[in-house]
Amino acid sequence: MSFDTMPLISVIIPSYNHAHFLREALQSVCKQSFTDWEVVVVNNYSEDDTVAVVESFAEPRIRLENFHNNGIIAASRNRGIALARGLYVAFLDSDDTWYPDKLLHCLPYLKNGADLVSHGLRCIGDSQGNLYCGPQQRATFDELLDKGNCITPSATIVEKSLIESVGSFSEDPAIVTSEDYHLWLKLAKAGASMRFTNEILGDYRIHAGNQSGAVLRHLNSVIAVVNEFMPKDVRHGMIFPLRYRRRLGLSYYGAGRAMQGNGQFEEAWKFFLRSFVSWPFYLKIYAAISLNIVKQLYDLFKKLKPINFA
């Protein structure tokens, strides 16, 4: 493909100080069995050898854009979208990778009328398992709003013109970490046709956080997104406030589980209690609370010195 030829798919990779991962991400794109693509690496002026890594590929389909995003990854993605020449935009985080047939397996969905297609990912790093996006019935506007995000960028390809028609990613600092959730809601509200496959077509790297501030920031960003899209009469009216309380309960529960995943069982309590107060009918909260009790009792018994009866 010459640079003058319009690619079908533009791959957007925002990156900051991820040179050691970025090489693997770019290699996974270069190994795609479908070859009508371009890559736009949006480098937030990394202080490592990111530029050298990109240049080492000597691949005309890979472009580097140095861009200050001021801590807003949505700005980097939007810059990549603005530079993209493809009909479709595929997102790939710089620490994730794709399997060789990812693009080839997703294209039939797009050619058959889907505006967005998303697939499964294998979780690697600090957690193991598979991450499945969707299913389709979970990707309606109301389901996304009431039950939370079910789509992740590195698994997703979207028609570029549709993204632009809804204003691309929001760069509001209040929703940093939830800007993708915000975009999916906008697309669903606009009537986008979304399709999902459970095929595992890439690796999703999980980094375990160890600070409660990161969890709190994400919680606040999710609530900010919900507050923007939840109808005002649902949030403040006399008839339907339960919908809003249920959504808050789910958000607090998610924050508590994130704390548990970080091993911060003491800090998890306040989120579980908020979840219970907001929506005591969410059954998973009882299992989470039980796990917290068992874990803390176990830690307590470990600290007790054995009694010497001699």
The per-residue pLDDT for 303 is 79
DSSP symbols for 245-306: HHHHHHHHHHHHHHHHHTT-HHHHHHHHHHHHHH-TT-THHHHHHHHHHHHHHHHHHHHSPP
Q: How far is CA 205 from the centre of its chain?
A: 11
Q: What span, in angstroms and rounded, lies between the C-alpha atoms of 226 and 148?
A: 9
* Torsions phi, psi for 69 (to 5 deg): -100, 0
Q: Answer yes or no: is pLDDT of 174 > 90.
A: yes
The per-residue pLDDT for 2 is 45
Q: Answer yes or no: is pLDDT of 93 > 50.
A: yes
Q: Answer yes or no: is pLDDT of 307 > 60.
A: no
CATH superfamily, with its number, for domain 9-206: Spore Coat Polysaccharide Biosynthesis Protein SpsA; Chain A (3.90.550.10)
Q: Would the CATH topology of 9-206 be identical to that of 212-303?
A: no
The per-residue pLDDT for 305 is 61
Q: Answer yes or no: is pLDDT of 1 > 50.
A: no
pLDDT in tens, 183-212: 999 999 999 999 999 999 999 998 765 466
Model confidence band, residue 283 (pLDDT cutoffs 50, 70, 90): very high
Model confidence band, residue 128 (pLDDT cutoffs 50, 70, 90): confident
Q: Answer yes or no: is pLDDT of 306 > 90.
A: no
- Average pLDDT along the chain: 93
The class (CATH top level) of 212-303 is mainly alpha
pLDDT in tens, 244-279: 999 999 999 999 999 998 889 999 999 999 999 999
Q: 147 by DSSP, 3-state: which?
A: helix
The per-residue pLDDT for 252 is 98
219: region left, alpha or beta (phi > 0 left; psi from -120 to 50 alpha): alpha
Q: Answer yes or no: is pLDDT of 308 > 80.
A: no
Q: What span, in angstroms and rounded, lies between the C-alpha atoms of 165 and 202?
A: 28
The domain segmentation of the chain, as residue ranges, is: 9-206, 212-303
Radius of gyration of the chain (CA): 22
- Average pLDDT value for residue range 136-165: 97
